[in-house]
């Protein structure tokens, strides 16, 4: 069989619908959905808390409105750079390993931030 004859033969097409129906939906898919959902909840909370922290920081540090807005801009800029950077690292080292490392790092940082709170002096 020459190259031209091989090109003329139709190849079977494996569609996304066929792959999903073959794979099915079970416990693993539910766990992946729950894990991704928790990640989205954490991101949403981080974005939402900016609206609460902004006015308090503005008052505490005597910031102008543009300086308060700059804080939010820097947070979103960090998300942009971080998402791109972690994506590149994940492509090279594997998503599971990098996702676990990133999650552990975030948990440690949150624990440090939570324990560093000092109540105001009376």
pLDDT in tens, 16-51: 888 888 888 889 989 989 988 988 898 888 888 888
Alpha-carbon span 35 to 24, nearest angstrom: 18
| pLDDT at position 77 over 90 | yes
Using pLDDT thresholds of 50, 70 and 90, give the confidence band for residue 91: very high
The DSSP secondary structure of 12-43, one letter per residue, reads PP--HHHHHHHH---HHHHHHHHHHHHHHHHH
Q: Which two tokens stand for residue 108?
A: 């440690």
Using pLDDT thresholds of 50, 70 and 90, give the confidence band for residue 122: low
| pLDDT at position 70 over 80 | yes
- Cβ-based burial of 89 (10 A; exposed 0-12, middle 13-18, buried ≥19): middle
């Amino acid at each position: 069989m020459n190259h031209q004859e091989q090109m003329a033969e139709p190849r079977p097409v494996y569609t996304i619908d066929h792959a999903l129906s073959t794979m099915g939906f079970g416990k693993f898919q539910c766990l992946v959905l729950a894990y991704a959902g928790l990640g989205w909840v954490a991101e949403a909370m981080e974005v939402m808390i900016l609206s609460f922290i902004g006015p308090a920081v503005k008052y505490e540090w005597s910031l102008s409105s543009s300086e308060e807005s700059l804080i939010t801009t820097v947070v979103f800029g960090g998300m942009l750079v971080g998402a791109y950077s972690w994506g590149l690292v994940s492509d090279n080292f594997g998503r599971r390993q990098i996702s676990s490392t990133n999650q552990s790092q975030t948990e440690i940082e949150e624990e440090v931030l939570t324990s560093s709170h000092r109540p105001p002096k009376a």
